[in-house]
Amino acid sequence: MEITQLAQGKSVSVIDCRCTAGPGDAPYPESHARHAIAYVRKGSFTCHARGESFELVAGSVMVGRPGDEYMCTHDHHQCGDECLAFHFAPEFVEALGRGDAAWRAGGVAPLPGLMVLGELAQAAAEGRHDIGVDEIAMLFAARYTELVAGRKRTPAGTAARDRRRAVDVARWLEAHSHEPLDLDAAAGEAGLSAFHFLRVFARVLGVTPHQYLVRSRLRHAARLLADEDRPVTEVAYEVGFGDLSNFVRTFHRAAGVSPGQFRRAARGDRKIFQERLAARA
């Protein structure tokens, strides 16, 4: 495991985690020292926590409270994973005012409102934009608790073969999200009937194949908006949206700001994020 400290402050710290473990490596128990959220930006792994197993793919998050034990396994792939981990002080968590429920989640399926912020956090972590990675970490936590507090998860309860199929297809959707894909194409990749695949995928990953496809497109859009100056229309078509108005509407619903505002925030306009945080006060 490669660990790089990106930010260290009283309220929040940010760590870049790169794991190369594979199926042949023995897992070991770990525990969270602080309230933590890890955004999975690449690869996949299984998180075993709170008596459940969570299949985490690109865009998912792993969550924990101080003292919570967890164990990560990499039974599906050799490539390991990469995460951006945010650790928060108790005072900051208390200030969020959302209670403890969200921090008991263990693992959370890819949510559009988190994926776009995760990509912005990655851009900040790499120093490509004038944004503090600690600031994005706080916004990420605020958005996470806003979206997840009170949500209930249904345990997967599926065979190991089906869990692997779901993860494999999620990785395939991530790699081909810019292409025109449908349920039949994804089911064909899994070697299952469309109806059976739909049930397996949703049960394992907590989202439908189409939801994951759209959210992967949003992730790539956020990256392009943060990194490049190409027109919003071009970004929309590049990542797989066939209609500009649909892209703008979907992006705004996910991020809470328009693609143009998101780009300005990525260029250092902190007022946009300040207004979002102030609205929660």
CA atoms within 13 A on the CB side of 51: 2
Q: What is the pTM of this model?
A: 0.82
Instruction: Give the pLDDT confidence of 83-116 residue by residue, as tens digits.
Output: 999 999 999 998 888 778 889 999 999 999 899 9
For residue 160, the model assigns a pLDDT of 86
For residue 133, the model assigns a pLDDT of 87
For residue 153, the model assigns a pLDDT of 57
Burial of 194 (0-12, 13-18, 19+ CB in 10 A): middle
Instruction: Give the pLDDT confidence of 186-222 residue by residue, as tens digits.
Output: 999 999 999 999 999 999 999 999 999 999 999 999 9
For residue 101, the model assigns a pLDDT of 84
For residue 154, the model assigns a pLDDT of 56
For residue 135, the model assigns a pLDDT of 80
Mean pLDDT of the chain: 89
Q: What is the mean pLDDT of each run of 10 residues along the chain (281 residues)?
A: 91 93 89 96 93 94 96 80 95 85 92 91 79 85 85 65 93 95 94 92 93 95 92 97 94 92 83 63 51
| Complete edge-to-edge strand list for the sheet that includes strand 61-64 | 2-8, 12-19, 81-88, 35-43, 61-64, 107-108
Q: Rounded to the nearest 5 degrees, what angle is found at the Cα of 209, between the Cα atoms of 208 and 211?
A: 65
For residue 109, the model assigns a pLDDT of 93
Residue 234: CB partners within 8 Å, gap ≥ 6? none
